Chains A and B, each alone.
Chain A
């Protein structure tokens, strides 16, 4: 009896320790970004593009990277969504549960999930050379969408797997076909999960530096064409932290803060929206 109690306590301590480690490191990261970045943050930073000597400590801002990241992130998320949705509905409603093909697709997606983003970057770069494209917003969108595709589709897949068979049966029993059942019933029921999957994928996409390094390039101009290079926040952070000037490094932290705030606000917004969309969901 006593031994069991001791075991219980040891594991409880272990669990509390691990949990606090996770929460603690997150808080530590936020504090670092905030304390180093906030003082350097000013209106110019988020409303102006970099002027000539910005990376030497002269005036300007990172509006190019903020807008670039948002445009690229949204573009890549939409593109990935357009591909993910058919994939997951095919896997879950059209294929049998034990289908070997579905198993294979899920396996490939899991492998793709694990591939480092620099590999996607290199692959995107290769494709660009092959197609004769230069570093551009379009190339960046395509590469990032490839990067977040497995994340998005596997997250949605898990959500759709949880939809009870009885719900689909109820729809089929009324004479609905698979497409109607997918769009009108399963999609609605899965909407909160789908929104979460989109959000996770967006956060991953907007925050990735390696995949856009070769493919989207970098520019001091605001994004204005799909076929021209575009600046992104992760690269802006990378370049600024890489300079030897403390004030530029601080701006790097400020950029990191901006990126964090963007991800955070989209997260909150989507949660707020999902509440509005999900009042019909069956618990």
Chain B
């Protein structure tokens, strides 16, 4: 399956004070597909999501570096008009957060602040998007009631309608079903599947079933690092790296016990291949080698070579803008030279 990129994240790092929440994330989010960001709690899923519409700006002591390119524009540039950017990105939060006004006004809020005053047009918009969020039939007789009186599931659908009413290109969902009962959750999921033909959807979730069910593309974060990403089917069937496998299997994710470290900074092909080979030869089967490289073409080539030699590549991750880390476990093989 070929993906057309909509949002391109390049070397994105985010710090909350001294704590680094995201470490050099580079990823392309495909257009008009559902992309799921998964990972255990506190791994930076929500931070990544909120970087996309710059809601992280509201946090105290935040520091961001890198780029997020949407429609050819780096949105982290301070010159970017955030209100315009946010209008492009509808947000569904964890707990549905309706605005303190009537059902009608909740949906009309976005179009109104964007300058639409015509009452007839607003009426049409409200009806259209409430239908889009499959809420219309339940509320059409009480549009002027306070939105806070709706049930939680209805509130989340109202939030969806409200988000769609500003005609975004992207829908960002921050665990949008986690506060809902199964039936309401299912309705939202179904709606998202129908909407992905028109919108790029990015979904934070820690429900694997949901990611499997909805996603076309999956991003796996762990402790602020991007561990693995790829088309959903491949990701769930054949995860490339050990941590991904552990997470999918519902196992405890442990840090690797490194037996030997190899620093290949400044060393290019083919020397780096030779050095890795030699280092692995010195290890026993099952022992783990950590290699640090700063030569970008090698990031894909070196692990490939290791694998073709019969070793297991456990993890490849970017440490900072220049350096990558490759963690390899020596396989059960004997060389004969």
Which of A165, A175, A185 contacts B100 (CB under 8 A)? Answer: A185
The answer to whether A170 touches B146, judged by C-beta atoms less than 8 angstroms apart, is no
* B100→A282 contact, CB < 8 A: yes
Contact (Cβ within 8 A) A280 B102: yes
Given A174-B166, A188-B100, A283-B148, output 15 extra A-B contacts at Cβ < 8 Å.
Answer: A97-B60, A166-B93, A167-B99, A167-B100, A169-B55, A169-B91, A170-B91, A170-B99, A171-B109, A172-B58, A172-B83, A172-B86, A175-B166, A281-B100, A282-B99
The answer to whether B90 and A173 touch across the interface, beta carbons within 8 angstroms, is: yes
Could you tell me the distance between the alpha carbons of A172 and B109 in the complex, rounded to whole angstroms? Answer: 11
Interface mask (A110-135 → B, CB under 8 Å = 1, otherwise 0): 00000000000000000000000000
Instruction: Given A166-B97, A176-B113, verify A280-B163 contact (CB < 8 Å).
Output: no
A177 vs B93: C-alpha distance when bound (angstroms): 19
Query: What chain B residues lie within 8 Å of A97 (beta carbons)?
Result: 60
Known: A174-B162, A283-B148. A169 touches B93 (CB 8 A): yes
Chain B residue, CB-CB nearest to A190:
B100
User: Nearest-CB distance from B154 to chain A (Å)?
Assistant: 14
Among residues of B, the one whose C-beta sits closest to the C-beta of A283 is B148
Q: Identify the 10 closest CB pairs spanning chains A and B, nearest first.
A: A175-B87, A173-B91, A174-B110, A170-B97, A189-B100, A280-B100, A188-B100, A280-B146, A282-B148, A166-B97
- When distances are taken between beta carbons in the complex, the residues of chain A under 8 Å from B227 are none
* Cβ–Cβ contact B100 & A169, under 8 A: no
Chain A CB within 8 A of B18 CB? no
Contact indicator B86/A175 (Cβ below 8 Å): yes
- In chain A between 137 and 190, which residues have their CB closer than 8 angstroms to a CB of chain B? 164-177, 180, 184-185, 188-189
Between-chain CB contacts (< 8 Å), 9 pairs = A98-B61, A166-B95, A167-B97, A168-B58, A174-B110, A174-B113, A174-B163, A175-B114, A176-B109
Q: How far is the CA of A168 from the CA of B163 in the complex (A)?
A: 14
Interface residue ranges of B115-159 to A (CB < 8 Å): 146-148, 159
B89 within 8 A of A: yes
Residue B53 CB within 8 A of the other chain: yes
C-alpha spacing A166/B148, complex, angstroms = 15
Within the complex, what minimum Cβ distance (angstroms) separates A180 from chain B? 5
**Is B101 in contact with chain A by the CB < 8 A criterion?**
yes
Number of B interface residues at 8 Å Cβ cutoff, please give it. 32
Q: Is A5 an interface residue (CB 8 A)?
A: no
What's the nearest-Cβ distance from chain B to residue A102, in Å?
11
Closest residue of chain A to B54 (Cβ to Cβ) is: A172
Instruction: Determine whether the beta carbon of B102 is less than 8 Å from that of A173.
Output: no
Binding site for B on A (CB under 8 A): 96-98, 164-177, 180, 184-185, 188-189, 279-283
Mark interface residues in B64-105 (1 if CB within 8 Å of A CB, else 0).
000000000000000000111011011101010111111000
With CB as the reference atom, state the residue of chain A lying closest to B149.
Answer: A279
B83 x A177 contact (CB < 8 A)? yes
- Chain B residues near A188: list those with CB within 8 A: 100-101
Q: How far is the CA of A119 from the CA of B197 in the complex (A)?
A: 69
Whether A169 pairs with B97 at a CB distance below 8 angstroms is yes
Can you name the residue of chain A whose Cβ is closest to the Cβ of B92? A173
A177 and B95 CA atoms in complex are apart in Å by: 22
Q: Which residues of A contact B84 (CB under 8 A)?
A: 175
- Most chain A beta-carbon contacts within 10 A, residue among B53, B86, B100, B162: B100
Question: In the complex, what distance in Å separates the CA atom of A98 from the CA atom of B101?
Answer: 30
Residue on B with the closest CB to A189?
Answer: B100
Q: Determine which of A96, A173, A279, A282 lies in contact with B98 in the assembled complex, contact meaning CB atoms within 8 Å.
A: A282
* Chain A residues with CB under 8 A of B83: 172, 175-177
Q: How far is the CB of A272 from chain B (nearest CB, A)?
A: 18
CB pair A173–B148 under 8 Å, yes or no, is no
Contact (Cβ within 8 A) B55 A173:
yes
B274 to chain A, nearest CB (A): 52
- Do the beta carbons of B60 and A98 come within 8 Å of each other? yes
Chain B hits for A171, CB < 8 A? 99, 109
Hey, what's the 0/1 contact readout for B30-67 against A, CB within 8 Å counting as 1?
00000000000000000000000101001011000000
A165, A171, A174: most-surrounded residue (chain B CB, <10 A): A174
Of B61, B101, B147, B163, which one neighbours A173 at CB under 8 angstroms? B163
Q: B127 to nearest A CB, angstroms?
A: 18
Among residues of A, the one whose C-beta sits closest to the C-beta of B61 is: A98
- Shortest Cβ distance from A187 into B: residue: B100
CA distance A22 to B256 in the complex (A): 64
| A96 pairs with B113, CB closer than 8 A | no
> Cβ of A281: which chain B residues have Cβ within 8 Å of it?
100, 148
**B53 contacts A173, CB within 8 Å?**
yes
Find the B residue at minimum CB distance from A174.
B110
Residues of B within 8 A of A176 (CB): 83, 109-110, 113
- Which chain B residue has the least Cβ–Cβ distance from A188? B100
Tell me how far the C-beta of B45 lies from the nearest C-beta in chain A, rounded to whole angstroms: 16
| B100 A174 Cβ-Cβ under 8 A | no
Residues in A whose Cβ lies below 8 Å from that of B55: 169, 172-173
| A280 and B148 within 8 A (CB) | yes
Task: Contact check, A184 vs B109: say whether CB atoms are below 8 A apart.
Answer: yes
Q: Which residues of A contact B100 (CB under 8 A)?
A: 167, 185, 188-189, 280-282
In angstroms, Cα B62 to Cα A215, docked, is 49
Contact for B60 among A96, A168, A177, A283, CB less than 8 A? A96
CA distance A168 to B159 in the complex (A): 14
CB distance from B277 to the nearest CB of A (A): 51
One of B58, B97, B110, B146 near A175 (C-beta < 8 A):
B110
